[in-house]
Amino acid sequence: MGFGQSLAESGSLVTNQTSHTFRQALRSLRSSRELSQQQLGRLVNYSGAYISDLELGRKPIHAELAAALDAALGAGGSLLAAAERNIAEPLDQPWTKEIASTALSGVAESALMDRRNFLVLTSTTAANLANAWHDAPIEPLAVNGGGRVTQEVVDRLQARVQELWHLDDLIGGGGCLDTAVSDLRLTNRLINRGRYSEPVGKRLFSLAAALARFCGFVAFDAGRGAAAQRFWHAGLRAAAAAGDTDQGIYILSNLALQAIYEGDGQTAVQMLDVAKDRVDPSAKTVLSMLDCWAVRAHSVSGDKRAAAHVLNRADDLWARRHMADDPSWVYWMPQPSLTAEAGTALMEIGDLPAAERSLIAGMATLDEGSAREKSLYLTRIAEVQLLDSRLDEAIVTAHGAIDAADGVDSARVRAQLGRLIDRLPANEPAVAELLIHRSEGTFA
C-alpha cells in the first residue's frame, strides 16, 4: 500500500483562484436551492460579494469555507471534494520563517475540521519533504514589534507542552487535540504579533514545532491521518525556522511511524535514514528509537534479516545511552526490544515465542496510568496467541485489552482491537461477548 492517495490538501494556504469545476458546482447547487448569493453568504458568515467572487474565480477557496458551503447547501461532501482538488499546501515553497508561520496559521485554523482518515502525501512527496527539511538553511530571525514576549512566557508555554505529553499518555490523543491546537494558535500569534529577541524568537518557533508535532501525533492516534500530516508539515517548517534539529528529527520519526501503520515500510526507512543523518551521535536514545521504528519498517516490508539486525543494534545503542545527552522529549523510550513495535515486528517475521516474551516484558515496564499502551500491548499479545493456535488464551487476553482501553480516546486502539476481533471465531461464546462490546461502541 502506498503512503498516500492524493496531494489534495485543505487549509488556508490556497491557489489563487477557484477551479471551473468548483465554481460550476457551487453555482449549480446554490441555484437549485433557490438561494441568492447574499442569502448563501449569510448562512456561512461571508458577504454575498465574496460568494460572487468565488463563483467568478476571483477569490480562493479554503477548507473551512468549503465545508460550511457544503453543509449549507446539503451537498453531502461533493462540494468539499471539488474544493479539495483545488487546494494545495505550500510543499514546494521556500523554507523561510514567513512560510513556516503561514503554514502554522493554516493548519491551526483548519486542521480540526479535517477529518479525513486517508493520507494526502504520496510516498515520493513524503520522502521529498524529509529531504527538504534536511537541507533547509538556517535564517536569522528579525526582531518583531508588538507586545513584548519574554523567556518566562515561553517557559510557561513549554511547561504546558510537557503536561500535554503526559496527559496523552493517560487518556489518548482524542482528548488532547483541542487543547493542543489552542496552544499552537497562541504560540503562532505571539510569533506574528509579539516583540521579542532573536533567542526568544527561536524558542517560539521551536515551541510551535513541538506543538505541531504533538497535534500531529494525537490526530494520528485519533484516526485523522490527513490532519496529522498537515500538522507535521507545518512543524517541520517551524523546526527549520528555529534551527531545532531535534524537533525535526522527532517529527520525521512520527511521519515514518504513520507510514509503517499504512504498510509502507520503504518510505518509513527513507525518512528514518534522513532523520538519523542529522542526529547528534551522542544522543543514543534517539538513535535507538529511530532504529526501533526501522525494525518495524523492515518487518512490514518482509525483510526478516534486516529487522533482526537493526533490533540488535537498537538495543546496543540503548544500553550505551547517557540520559544527559538526550533531548527531553525522548523520556518515554524504553529498551527497543521491549516496545510494542518491536514485539509486533517479531510477530510479523514469524518469531512468535520471542514476540510474546518481548511484549509481556515490555508491558511490565509501563506506568500504572498508561492505559492506551497497555491495551495496545495486550492486543498484540492476543494476536500472537491466536497465531500460535491458543484460542482460549487469545480470547482472555482480548478481554483484558478491552478492559484496559476503557476511558481511552484512541482510534488506533479501537482499530487494532477491531481487527483482532474480526479474526476470532464468532461462534465461540466468549467471542460473542466481545462482539457485544463492539456493537455497544466500546472499542469500534
What is the tens place of the pLDDT at every residue in 375-385? Answer: 999 999 999 99
- Report whether pLDDT(17) > 50: no
Out of 2.60.120.10, 2.40.50.140, 3.40.50.300, 1.10.260.40, the CATH code matching 20-85 is: 1.10.260.40
Asked whether residue 208 carries a pLDDT value surpassing 90, the answer given is yes
Q: Residue 328 and residue 324: Cα distance in Å, rounded?
A: 9
Nearest Cα neighbor of 328 from 408, 215, 213, 235 is 213
pLDDT of residue 138: 75
Section 89-108 average pLDDT: 81
Alpha-carbon distances, residue 208 vs 152, 226, 321 (angstroms): 16, 19, 28
Cell digits of residue 10: 485543505
Residue range 198-225: average pLDDT? 93
d(CA 417, CA 402): 8
In the chain, what are the domain boundaries?
Answer: 20-85, 92-264
Residue with cell 518583531: 144
- Are 44 and 69 contacting, i.e. CB atoms less than 8 angstroms apart? yes
Average pLDDT, the chain: 86
- pTM of the full structure: 0.79
Helix axes 391-404, 429-439, angle to 10 degrees: 30
Q: Check residues 172 and 46 and name the one with the higher pLDDT.
A: 46
Backbone angles phi, psi at 212, to 5 degrees: -65, -40
Instruction: Please write the tens of the pLDDT for every residue from 236-263.
Output: 999 999 999 999 999 999 999 999 999 9
Overall average pLDDT of the 393-417 stretch: 89
CB 410 within 8 A of CB 370: no
* Residue 334's pLDDT band (cuts 50, 70, 90): very high
pLDDT tens-digit profile of 65-94? 888 898 999 988 788 777 755 544 566 788
Rounded Cα distance, 358 and 233, in Å: 33
